[in-house]
Amino acid sequence: MTGGGVILPRRRLLAGAGGLVAAVPLLSACDAINEAPLTRKILSMGEEMHQASQRALMDRDALAREFTRADLSPVFRSNGTNLPAGDAYAAHAARGFADWRVAVTGLVNTPLSLSMADIRSMPQRSQITRHDCVEGWSAIGEWTGVQLSRVLAAAGLRDRARYIVFRCADRIGDALYYESCDLVDALHPQTILAWALNRELLPIANGAPLRLRIERQLGYKHAKYLTGIEAVASLDGIGAGKGGFWEDRVDYEWYAGI
């Protein structure tokens, strides 16, 4: 906050253009309040209260509503990265992702490296759900994939594991996209690694060849272009420590059930 408005003589503030002259420093003062570390700390209490109350209200396995094919959005919008940059991804796409691997690492007994064929050979789940973007729009699509709980069971989660981190192939600016969730959402029956949208192979704009569906949270949690799944005890030291690409950069809520 600058003192620009404070030193203005009172007469000028009351002058005809007073409203405008006074409004500009007032607005910048508001923005300064918004950016103050103490404010951010207080504001984040809202997220904690929402997470605690939602978890108290809902069963661990409470399902997001599943729709019918009659309810599908005519066009399923994509957002964020529509095409990951780089030759490596382009080469994978040209080969139909035949050599794509998803690494399951971290606090697991048996680290895995899964091909798309491995993932499709596991038991599959299909669900028609509503995707809610943080921006406000919604789209309904049918997703098919393997439950994350099955993949984690195959790798064997260790006792110390508390969070699952999702690594992605798309780079936005200086860093690769990533997301994370706790074990309640990781082991939820509708949390799947999806490779099909509306019964067709996942389009590149929607995260080919594999993306996360985490149906009780907003769209930015649904990491696309998955390359790795990592079980960790803490989110400290991963990215800026807030548990996700946008959480680190613009302070989106890590708990995005709100």
Partner 1 sequence: MGNMAEAEAPIAPPVAADAPPPPTPARVYRHRLPVRIWHWVNAVTLLILLMSGLMIFNAHPRLYWGDYGANADHAWLAIAAQGDTGYLRIGETRIETTGVLGRWTDGEGVVRKLAFPGWATIPTSYDLASGRRWHLLFAWVLAIGLTLYMLWTALGGHLKKDLHVRRGEWAPRHIWHDIKDHARLRFPRGEAAARYGILQKLSYIAVIFLLLPLMIFTGLAMSPGINAAWPWLVEVFGGRQSARSIHFIAASALVAFFLVHIAMVLLAGPVNELRSMVTGWFRLPPEKDA
Quickly count helices (H) and strands (E) in the chain. Answer: 8, 10
Contacts of 140 (CB under 8 A, 6+ apart): 67, 71, 72, 73, 76, 128, 129, 130, 131
Q: In this structure, which amino acid lies at residue 81? A: T
Cα–Cα distances in angstroms (integers) from residue 207 to residues 95, 139, 210, 223, 236, in the given order: 16, 15, 6, 8, 26
Q: How many CA atoms lie less than 13 Å away from 29 in the CB half-sphere?
A: 9
Q: Which two tokens stand for residue 131?
A: 């995707």
Stretch of 7-15, 42-50, 143-151, 170-178 lying at the interface with partner 1 (CB under 8 A): 42-50
Shortest Å, Cβ 224 to partner 1? 17
24 binds partner 1 (CB under 8 A): yes
Stretch of 1-9, 102-110, 167-175, 211-219 lying at the interface with partner 1 (CB under 8 A): 211-219
Of the residues 137, 158, 160, 175, which one makes contact with partner 1 according to CB under 8 A:
137
70 binds partner 1 (CB under 8 A): no
Pick between residue 123 and residue 136 the one whose CB is nearest to partner 1: 136
Of the residues 14, 17, 23, 52, which one makes contact with partner 1 according to CB under 8 A:
23
> Residue 129 burial by CB count (10 A; 0-12/13-18/19+): exposed, middle or buried?
buried
100 binds partner 1 (CB under 8 A): no
Answer left, alpha or beta for residue 53, where phi above 0 means left and psi between -120 and 50 means alpha: alpha
Dihedral sign, CA of 189, 51, 139, 178?
Answer: negative
Pick between residue 50 and residue 120 the one whose CB is nearest to partner 1: 50
Pick between residue 119 and residue 148 the one whose CB is nearest to partner 1: 148
Of the residues 1, 8, 64, 154, which one makes contact with partner 1 according to CB under 8 A:
64
Residues lying near partner 1 in the complex (CB under 8 A): 23-24, 27-28, 30-31, 34, 40, 42-47, 49-50, 54, 57-59, 62-65, 67, 71, 73-75, 77, 130, 132-140, 215-218, 246, 250-253, 256-258
